[in-house]
């Protein structure tokens, strides 16, 4: 099939590439000329494990192309995925301007029956909006062209996006005619994915499912984070609590029960905000979602308090090493990263910050050009008063502690991901605070 993906953000570039791998002809379109030129030269503008080889393989096979020419892409496509950003607006609602812009492009250039699929995470009711914009535009052109608008929310995670696509447990589809052409074609598109359940549902449910899925996971994360803070007060161990919790078969997938420095990324924070607003707009108390967001902010701030505690409540000119900057490991994405909150608080107190991340430093430099960026973790801890672990990269889980001792000014460690063995560090006379104490 001929497929266009409009928007080449993190998971959507993966989505397009994986569809090409399923032997479809895919064009990934973006208005960012630099990004498209880079992609044509196999320079992947993001860090996503396993993506690069697939891009090269499918581009070489002429199945995957990159373009800024929306018109030509719309011209040749059977299916157009709208995959542009829906960042949070000032009122907490998703900002839909980019989705509207794509809908405008589609009515201008559509010339034959086409299926338009929303892949972006969009609020309930977006189907009507897109349909109305395109219908009105086609009428304005004095033409009669058939089209279908379908919904197909994205469930890929950054870092594991390629494997998530190949092993998707479910694909959710909605279109106004359950047995119509659009649903049949989308089912065909995904049919090579063997262990995937294709769920055809009703319109509003399809749009709601994504928000519910992300919000439920975020609720779990915030709940375990709140428990971690209670554990700290009561001298209990949140990891042991979570371990026992996971033994209960009713606990969904046993995942997202790890207390860490709060959730970040481009999805959970914005989706929970939008979902909370949707509740409010419909006069239903959104307490659980608001609490999820509040706990998340507190959890990030709590890391800063731990640093202060280890540094005798005085951060003036103290050197703090922030190790790993992205919102989670194995990505270069820094959107809503907990490190941002910690660094902002440290800067307010005039602390000196040294930092290191194997992938995310360039993105961070655009935001904070003046921090001391180091080439590796050992340089980052040199002359430091406190080392702060913000993500859980496997490759740094067993550092050379003797070397670290010889480099640091004071032996303080705040481990916001609990990646180090507390007893080992305490035996080496470190002052150590993890998530539970």
Distance CA 192, CA 383 (A): 55
Q: H or E stretch including 187? A: helix 181-190
* Minimum distance of ligand UGA from residue 430's CB (angstroms): 24
Tokens of 38: 């880079």
Do residues 324 and 391 touch, judged by C-beta distance below 8 A? yes
* Minimum distance of ligand UGA from residue 260's CB (angstroms): 4
303 binds ligand UGA (CB under 6 A): no
Tokens of 293: 């967001």
Do residues 25 and 4 touch, judged by C-beta distance below 8 A? no
Q: Which is nearer to ligand UGA, 242 or 315 (CB)?
A: 242
Tokens of 69: 């020419």
Q: Which of 264, 321, 361, 371 binds ligand UGA (CB under 6 A)?
A: 264
- DSSP track, 383-399: T-SEEEE-S--GGGSS-
Question: 427: buried, middle or exposed (CB in 10 Å: 19+, 13-18, 0-12)?
Answer: exposed
223 binds ligand UGA (CB under 6 A): no
Reduced to 3 states (helix: H, G, I; strand: E, B; else coil), residue 428 is coil
Do residues 95 and 89 touch, judged by C-beta distance below 8 A? yes
Q: Which is nearer to ligand UGA, 154 or 207 (CB)?
A: 154
301 binds ligand UGA (CB under 6 A): no
* Minimum distance of ligand UGA from residue 338's CB (angstroms): 7
| Catalytic site includes residue 355 | no
Q: Which is nearer to ligand UGA, 115 or 267 (CB)?
A: 267
Applying CB under 6 A, what is the total number of residues that bind ligand UGA? 21
* Minimum distance of ligand UGA from residue 159's CB (angstroms): 7
Do residues 48 and 159 touch, judged by C-beta distance below 8 A? yes
Distance CA 387, CA 355 (A): 10
388 binds ligand UGA (CB under 6 A): no
Nearest partner of 26 among 103, 70, 80, judged by Cα: 80
Q: Which range in 38-46, 82-90, 251-259, 403-411 contacts ligand UGA by CB under 6 A?
A: 251-259
7 binds ligand UGA (CB under 6 A): no
273 binds ligand UGA (CB under 6 A): no
Distance CA 181, CA 115 (A): 9
Q: Which is nearer to ligand UGA, 66 or 260 (CB)?
A: 260
Do residues 115 and 81 touch, judged by C-beta distance below 8 A? no
- Contacts with ligand UGA in 226-245 (CB under 6 A)? none
Q: Which range in 137-145, 226-234, 259-267, 273-281 contacts ligand UGA by CB under 6 A?
A: 259-267
Catalytic-role residue among 267, 355, 374, 386: 267
263 binds ligand UGA (CB under 6 A): yes
CA angle 163–325–49, rounded 5-degree value:
20
- DSSP track, 96-150: -HHHHHHHHHHHHH--S-EEEEE-S---TTHHHHHHHHHHHHHHHTT----EEEE
Do residues 106 and 70 touch, judged by C-beta distance below 8 A? no
158 binds ligand UGA (CB under 6 A): yes
Q: Which of 260, 324, 373, 432 binds ligand UGA (CB under 6 A)?
A: 260
Nearest partner of 325 among 353, 349, 292, judged by Cα: 353
Q: What φ, ψ does residue 282 adopt, rounded to 5°?
A: -100, 15
Q: Which range in 20-28, 63-71, 137-145, 263-271 contacts ligand UGA by CB under 6 A?
A: 263-271
DSSP 8-state assignment for residue 332:
-
267 binds ligand UGA (CB under 6 A): yes
* Minimum distance of ligand UGA from residue 75's CB (angstroms): 29
Q: Which is nearer to ligand UGA, 121 or 319 (CB)?
A: 121
Distance CA 78, CA 291 (A): 43
- Contacts with ligand UGA in 310-329 (CB under 6 A)? 327-328
214 binds ligand UGA (CB under 6 A): yes
Q: Which is nearer to ligand UGA, 157 or 410 (CB)?
A: 157
- Contacts with ligand UGA in 72-131 (CB under 6 A)? 121
332 binds ligand UGA (CB under 6 A): no
190 binds ligand UGA (CB under 6 A): no
* Minimum distance of ligand UGA from residue 322's CB (angstroms): 16
Binding site for ligand UGA (CB under 6 A): 11, 121, 154-158, 214, 217, 221, 256-258, 260, 263-265, 267-268, 327-328
Residues with catalytic function: 267
């Amino acid at each position: 099939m001929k497929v266009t993906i409009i928007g080449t953000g993190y998971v959507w570039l993966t989505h397009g590439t994986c569809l090409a791998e399923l032997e479809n002809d895919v064009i990934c379109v973006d208005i960012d000329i630099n990004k498209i030129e880079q992609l044509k030269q196999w320079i992947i503008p993001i860090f996503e494990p396993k993506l690069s080889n697939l891009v090269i393989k499918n581009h070489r096979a002429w199945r995957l192309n990159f373009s800024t020419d929306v018109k030509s892409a719309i011209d040749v496509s059977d299916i157009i995925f709208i995959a542009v950003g829906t960042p949070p607006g000032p009122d907490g609602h998703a900002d839909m301007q980019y989705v509207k812009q794509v809908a405008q492009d589609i009515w201008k250039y559509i010339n034959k029956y086409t299926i338009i699929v929303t892949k972006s995470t969009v609020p309930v009711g977006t189907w009507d909006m897109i349909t109305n914009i395109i219908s009105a535009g086609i009428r304005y052109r004095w033409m009669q062209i058939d089209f279908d608008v379908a919904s197909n929310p994205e469930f890929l995670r950054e870092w594991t996006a390629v494997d998530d696509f190949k092993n998707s447990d479910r694909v959710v589809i909605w279109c106004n005619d359950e047995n119509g052409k659009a649903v049949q074609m989308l089912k065909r598109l995904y049919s090579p994915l063997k262990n995937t359940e294709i769920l055809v549902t009703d319109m509003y449910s399809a749009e709601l499912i994504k928000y519910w899925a992300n919000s439920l996971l975020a609720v779990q994360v915030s709940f375990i984070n709140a428990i971690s803070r209670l554990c700290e007060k009561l001298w209990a161990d949140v990891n042991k609590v979570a371990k026992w919790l996971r033994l209960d078969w009713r606990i969904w997938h046993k995942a997202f029960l790890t207390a860490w420095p709060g959730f970040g990324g481009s999805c959970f924070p914005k989706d929970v905000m939008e979902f909370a607003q949707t509740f409010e707009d419909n006069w239903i108390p959104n307490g659980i979602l608001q609490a999820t967001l509040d706990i998340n902010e507190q959890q990030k701030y709590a890391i800063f308090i731990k640093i202060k505690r280890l540094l005798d409540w005085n951060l003036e000119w103290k050197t703090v090493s922030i190790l790993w900057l992205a919102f989670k490991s194995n990505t270069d994405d820094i959107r809503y990263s907990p490190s941002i909150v910690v660094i902002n608080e440290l800067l307010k107190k005039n602390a000196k910050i040294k930092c290191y991340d194997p992938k995310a430093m360039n993105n961070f430099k655009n935001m904070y050009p003046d921090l001391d960026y180091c080439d590796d973790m050992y340089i980052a801890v040199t002359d430091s008063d406190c080392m702060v672990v913000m993500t859980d990269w496997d490759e740094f889980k067993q550092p050379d502690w003797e070397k670290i001792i010889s480099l640091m000014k004071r032996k303080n460690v705040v481990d916001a991901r609990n990646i180090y063995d507390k007893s080992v560090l305490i035996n080496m006379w470190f002052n150590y605070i993890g998530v539970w104490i």
